Amino acid sequence: MALLSEGADAARLPLVDRDQASLTVRALYPDDRDASNITKALAASPDTFAAMAPFLSQVMNPTTVDLATKEVVVLRVSALNRCAYCVPTHQVAASRAGLPPEVVAALASTDPPDGRLEPAHRALARWCDRIVTDAGAVDDTLLAEMRAHFADHEIVELTVLAGAITTLNYLASAAALPLDPGTVAAL
């Protein structure tokens, strides 16, 4: 396994280049661009990465829930978990998904959701705030607020997405992943 980054911006865990990745995960690297540092970090554990890839693809790609709404969850949860890699990465992704700059800024903050968010996104941000800090404290009022905007299967999907992102936040933070060059260029 090759460690790609060295020096002050070096990750604490190996970042595996495509050429060094096991055959089981090499196909998970993009063909048209360099892989993200989170991909390279996951590749250090090929069996884990191979098992996680289909799951992450399912919860992160558009389904009955559009990509912009999923980015609300990803960015908000990453901000609450204070992930220095994921927050800027998903500020860029949220903008590309069509969220306005003031919404991106509100989600990237740990301040309570405010009027910059449309009602569905505000409810979702409040949901994320609650499940990240104390999922057992979700009450009927908050659930009713979510149900005003999302079907039950979408609430399940968005909640599972929050858990998946928390897992990636933990990896990115513990590994001290440096930002990808594309993220740096887009900021």
Higher pLDDT among residues 7 and 26, named by residue: 26
Fold adopted by 67-185: AhpD-like (1.20.1290)
Q: What is the pLDDT of residue 67?
A: 97
pLDDT digits (tens, 9 = 90+) for 13-37: 999 999 999 999 999 999 999 999 9
pLDDT digits (tens, 9 = 90+) for 151-184: 999 999 999 999 999 999 999 999 999 999 999 9
Beta-carbon contacts of residue 181 (< 8 Å; ≥ 6 apart) = 34
pTM confidence score? 0.93
pLDDT digits (tens, 9 = 90+) for 102-161: 999 999 999 999 899 999 999 999 999 999 999 999 999 999 999 999 999 999 999 999
- Cα–Cα distance for residue pair 18/23, rounded to 1 Å: 9
Spell out the domain ranges in the chain: 18-60, 67-185
- What is the residue whose two structure tokens read 């009713």? 144
